[in-house]
Amino acid sequence: MSGSLGAWEMIVSGDATLYAIVRLSLAVSLSAVAIAVLIGLPLGAVLALTRFRARTALIVLLNGFMGLPPVVVGLTVFLLLSRSGPLGVFGILFTPLAMVIAQALLVVPIIASLSRQTIEDLWHEYRDELTAMNVGPVGRMSTLLWDSRFSLLTALLAAFGRAAAEVGTVMIVGGNIDGFTRTMTTTIALETSKGNLPLAMGLGIILIALIVAINAAAWGIRVWSEQRAG
Amino acid sequence: MNRRLFSAFAALALLFAGSATAVAQDKSIVVASTTSTQDSGLFDYLLPLFKTKTGIDVKVIAQGTGQALDTARRGDADVVFVHAKAQEEKFLSEGFGVKRYDVMYNDFVLIGPKSDPAGVKGTKDITAAFEAIRAKQAPFVSRGDKSGTHSAELKLWKEAGIDIDAAKGEWYRDIGQGMGAALNTAGAMNAYVLSDRGTWLSFKNRGDLEVVVEGDKRLFNQYGVMLVNPEKFSTVKADLGQSFIDYLVSEDGQKAISEYKIDGQQLFFPNAARDPS
């Protein structure tokens, strides 16, 4: 009890360490989602609107990868970024950038899969109209992406939730370095291992509250812009 | 739309700038160390002192000794600070380390439930205690992670004349996790567990656990530090790493280590020799 009170006191008193950890967690997960959007959305749109031989296999693969084990992604990124690995020269293992890369890999399949489904559904609705208007492939893609933006928001939130909540990858590739790569989830794992269970729980509640708050904000934006869009 | 996108990215950049101030500093080293030195709070106490003195940021990756040495073998650390002499000497002989320096010691303690089902409380003979635990098949939690503490535990089974691979049964729980997790598990199962004293003293979720055996000479726990060989990895920051090692074995560093206490109890005892082994 005293520990969750401790976590609460840290919020109220503006504990600098806690706020730095929260900021880092948000920065890493939001960047990872941003990067995953740049890769996942076009990939989802292409899969939804084009037909090619390996398409079905790719869709099944991406759907399966929505459940990628974080620890395996972490290990893969670790081996790639390690000084002894192929990308070792860049020296980015045990940095926030390594955590962004790992989380982005983790959530690209979520964004690509969910957006493919959304866009494909909308395509069935729009097909005749867009074909009649003789809109080219790029035009179709951008129209569909834009018109499904509110549904795509759900995909982004799912991706963010997964990125912000996971601990396996960031522990391995970030190293949980105090003041540098220590995130909310790795702090919770660390405090648990120190037997500081109430503080760990308190931090867990803060993390959940943050994720809910971000979802609420996104929901608010959606409602507001839907009203504006009419 | 583009402007909105731009401001989103600008906001992200700001978040990073605010959170990762350490990124811009190039005077930093990566030290692969053990969970015991971190969980006991020693680094939280020692590193700020070192930083004030030298301006060098020390980034600690806390792992088990075996894993920390492997991290260094891949060239992902500048310095290793661990506690399993045999493993450290192997690391040196493979050419991954330059020199090994003794830094400090503390001791292992056998932790067990207050009910003491194996009846070992009060004895000073650790191998007798291990024999009793195995004879009574009392639950025992093993780290099982090639850490320094795990190495010490395996050595003690051997010294007790027990082939643990053959003797292990349902009573012997190999969990493959860190010291804190092992203590949490032992607390939940009322099991015995070997722990370094530092982690035990700073551990908060003790439940029904207490120290049941301590003071045996064989429970000695030596910590050593090594610079990763810059000839193996040109990326090793040899100068900064060496100044960290020099500080640890210096009079100042040794004094600081001896002054770190929890509840009035000293956790680590400095014993750096003038000449490295």
3-state per-residue secondary structure call for chain A: CHHHHHHHHHHHCCCHHHHHHHHHHHHHHHHHHHHHHHHHHHHHHHHHHCCCCCHHHHHHHHHHHCCCCHHHHHHHHHHHHCCCCCCHHHCCCCCHHHHHHHHHHHHHHHHHHHHHHHHHHHHHHHHHHHHHCCCCHHHHHHHHHHHCHHHHHHHHHHHHHHHHHCCHHHHHHHCCCCCCCCCHHHHHHHHHHCCCHHHHHHHHHHHHHHHHHHHHHHHHHHHHHHHHHC
Q: Does B236 contact A at CB distance below 8 Å?
A: no
Statement to judge: residues B82 and B128 lie in one domain: no
Tell me: the pLDDT tens digits for B173-205?
A: 999 988 999 999 999 999 999 999 999 998 999
Among candidate residues B200, B219, B238, the one where a domain is terminated: B219
Tell me: the pLDDT tens digits for B63-85?
A: 999 999 999 999 999 999 999 99
Mean pLDDT of the residues in chain B: 91
Statement to judge: residues B14 and B41 lie in one domain: yes
For residues B104-113, give the mean pLDDT: 96
pLDDT the model gives residue B24:
47
For residues B114-127, give the mean pLDDT: 95
For residue B174, being part of any structural domain is answered with: yes
CA angle B145–B151–B154, rounded 5-degree value = 105
The tally of domains found in chain A comes to: 1
Statement to judge: residues B96 and B195 lie in one domain: no
Q: Does the model's ipTM exceed the 0.85 cut?
A: no
Q: How close, in Å, is residue A22 to chain B by CA atoms?
A: 9
For residue B159, being part of any structural domain is answered with: yes
State the residue range of the domain holding A80.
Answer: 2-229
Question: Is the pLDDT at B210 greater than 80, yes or no?
Answer: yes
pLDDT the model gives residue B23:
47
Q: Which residues contact B252 (CB under 8 A, 6 or more apart)?
A: B53
- Quick one: pLDDT band at residue A7, thresholds 50, 70, 90? confident
For residues B202-231, give the mean pLDDT: 95
Statement to judge: residues B162 and B78 lie in one domain: no
Q: Which residues of B touch A194 (CB under 8 A)?
A: 39, 180, 202-204
pTM score of the predicted model: 0.87
- Quick one: pLDDT band at residue A2, thresholds 50, 70, 90? very low
- Quick one: pLDDT band at residue B19, thresholds 50, 70, 90? low
Q: How close, in Å, is residue B75 to chain A by CA atoms?
A: 5
Q: Which residues of A touch B76 (CB under 8 A)?
A: 82-84, 93-94
For residue B50, being part of any structural domain is answered with: yes
Statement to judge: residues B50 and B116 lie in one domain: no
**End-to-end alpha carbon distance in chain A:** 49
Percentage of residues in chain B having pLDDT higher than 70: 91
pLDDT the model gives residue A150:
86
Which CATH number belongs to the domain containing residue A182 in this structure? 1.10.3720.10
State the residue range of the domain holding B130.
Answer: 107-219
pLDDT the model gives residue B12:
72
Q: Does B228 contact A at CB distance below 8 Å?
A: no
Statement to judge: residues B99 and B226 lie in one domain: yes
Question: Nearest-CA residue of chain A relative to B177?
Answer: A193
Which CATH number belongs to the domain containing residue B190 in this structure? 3.40.190.10
Statement to judge: residues B163 and B78 lie in one domain: no
What CA–CA distance (Å, rounded) separates B110 from B200? 10
Q: Burial level of A73, CB count in 10 A (0-12/13-18/19+)?
A: buried
pLDDT the model gives residue A138:
85
pLDDT the model gives residue B7:
72
For residues A90-98, give the mean pLDDT: 95
Question: Is the pLDDT at A1 greater than 60, yes or no?
Answer: no
pLDDT: which is higher, B40 or B130: B130
For residue B277, being part of any structural domain is answered with: no
Question: Is the pLDDT at B114 greater than 70, yes or no?
Answer: yes
Contact flag B22-A94 (C-beta cutoff 8 Å):
no
